[in-house]
Amino acid sequence: MKLCMIGTGYVGLVSGVCFSDLGNTVYCVDKNKEKISQLNSGIVPIYEPGLEELIKKNYKQKRLFFTSDIKKAVEISDIIFICVGTPTKKNSNSADLKYVFQVANQIKKYIKKYKIIITKSTVPVSTGDKLERIFHKKKKLVDIVSNPEFLREGEAIRDFTSPDRVVIGTNSEKANKILKTLYFPIVKKTSRYISTSRRGAELIKYASNAFLATKISYINELANLCEKAGVDIKDVAYGMGTDQRIGERFLRAGPAYGGSCFPKDTRALLETGKSFNTNLSIVHSVIKSNEDRKNLLTKKLLNFMKGKIKNKFITFLGVTFKPNTDDMREASSLYMIPYLHKRGAKIKYFDPSGEKKDFKIFKNVEYCKNIEKACLHSDLIVIHTEWNEFKFLNFKKLVKKSNIKLYDMRNVYSPLQMKKDKIKYFGVGR
Ligand code: NAD
């Protein structure tokens, strides 16, 4: 089939590339011309394991195209995926749909024969109805479908090609039949193809993300209790998670959840609740708990340092919101590092995905090109993101000091081993 992905970000690029790898012809469109020209010269603008190889392969086979020519891409394609961002609106908790509606208004004039228009972006329930109104003059030529994306950055290719489920929201039998064929190679193995109403599909995405965010906040709050009760949260999480009704995933205590989805999607769901006159008090509490956590963990760090951070070298290992991605959106380091810097700490950081523009404005925040440089003579090491690179470190060799302090925000190391190694250790909920 001929497909067009509008918005070549984490979602549009990965799904476009994976669809092309299944033999479809895919046009990835973006209004960011620099991104398109980078992709056309073989530069991948995001860090995602395995993506570069797949791009090269399919680009060479002329199944994958990168373009800013939205008219041509839409006219050629049978299916159009809208994959633009839906960030939180300024001064409100709602999802900002301006990019989605911009795309709809842009492409409506290019619809001259039947096309399926899909929102892959995460959009609040009833957005499809609004899109239908934009396309009302082309009513007979388009089916507006919701097909939310569930991939996770860092594991995006595997998630896209072996998803737990594919959710398709439409009442159109014609669109459903075509999409079943498109997704057949993906769902044929283990995953489920879920056909539902468009509003149902839109809400499934928010319901899933808010539930996962709830799981994280729940275990994080229990970690606070564990610290006071002398229990290791890892034991509790394991004991809970082995119950199949609960499941082990998303039960790892750590910093506040971040990233491009959970924070904005929980906020947007709360607003959707309001607009439908429904009180989502659990979602409300989760958002608050997560906001409080940024502050709480920073305060715990200060306590660990006995309040003395002025002119101290603090090393952050990892600054992204999770490993295997370069995405900094709503990472807790964006709160912690400026806070510590403002109080006179000297920050060094290393992240395998490279230097971050977010910290370039701070005088005493230094990006180090390797772990050794980042850790040398440090007064405190903070494991902020659990990249594999940080899992087997010899801190004595790295820090080259007698008094080593480690704040392990991801509970990577064993407190017992650290005690044996004479490293002052502080984890989360243990
Ligand atoms: P992103 O910011 O990485 O990419 C969006 C892209 O859209 C940008 O490159 C931007 O230039 C482009 N764009 C905006 N307006 C455009 C227009 N008019 N024409 C062409 N291009 C345009 O966003 P993302 O992380 O890929 O997220 C996209 C959507 O998918 C969001 O709704 C998000 O919630 C959802 N989602 C994201 C993830 C994730 O892990 N990132 C996972 C599932 C769902």
* Mean pLDDT for the stretch of residues 187-211: 94
CB 341 within 8 A of CB 311: no
Work out the percent of the chain whose per-residue pLDDT is above 70. Answer: 100
Nearest CA to ligand 1 atom 41: 10
Interval 82-95 mean pLDDT: 96
Residue 190 predicted with pLDDT over 90: no
- Is it the case that residue 164 has pLDDT exceeding 90? yes
18 flagged as catalytic: no
Both structure tokens of 260 = 């491009």
Whole-number pLDDT of residue 221: 98
189 has a pLDDT exceeding 90: no
pLDDT tens-digit readout, 24-65? 999 999 999 999 999 999 999 999 999 999 999 999 999 999
Q: How confident is the model at residue 138 (pLDDT cuts 50, 70, 90)?
A: very high
Q: What 3-state DSSP class applies to 294?
A: helix
The predicted-structure confidence for 337-359, as pLDDT tens digits, reads as follows 999 999 999 999 999 999 999 99
Q: Residues 387, 353: contact at Cβ < 8 Å?
A: no
pLDDT averaged over the chain? 97
Q: Judge if the beta carbon of residue 290 lies within 6 A of ligand 1.
A: no
Residue 195 has pLDDT above 80, yes or no: yes
Which residue's alpha carbon is nearest to atom 4 within ligand 1? Answer: 9
Does any ligand 1 atom lie closer than 6 A to the CB of residue 97?
A: no
Q: Report the nearest atom of ligand 1 relative to the CA of 10.
A: 26
CB atoms closer than 10 angstroms to residue 109: 11
Of ligand 1's listed atoms, the one at least distance from the Cα of 13 is 26
- Kindly give the distance from the C-alpha atom of residue 11 to the centroid of ligand 1, in angstroms, as a whole number: 6
> What spacing in Å lies between the alpha carbon of 120 and ligand 1's midpoint?
9
pLDDT of 188 higher than 90: no
- DSSP H stretches of helix in 188-327: 198-229, 233-241, 262-275, 281-304
30 Cβ below 6 A of ligand 1: yes
The reported pLDDT for the residue numbered 417 is 96
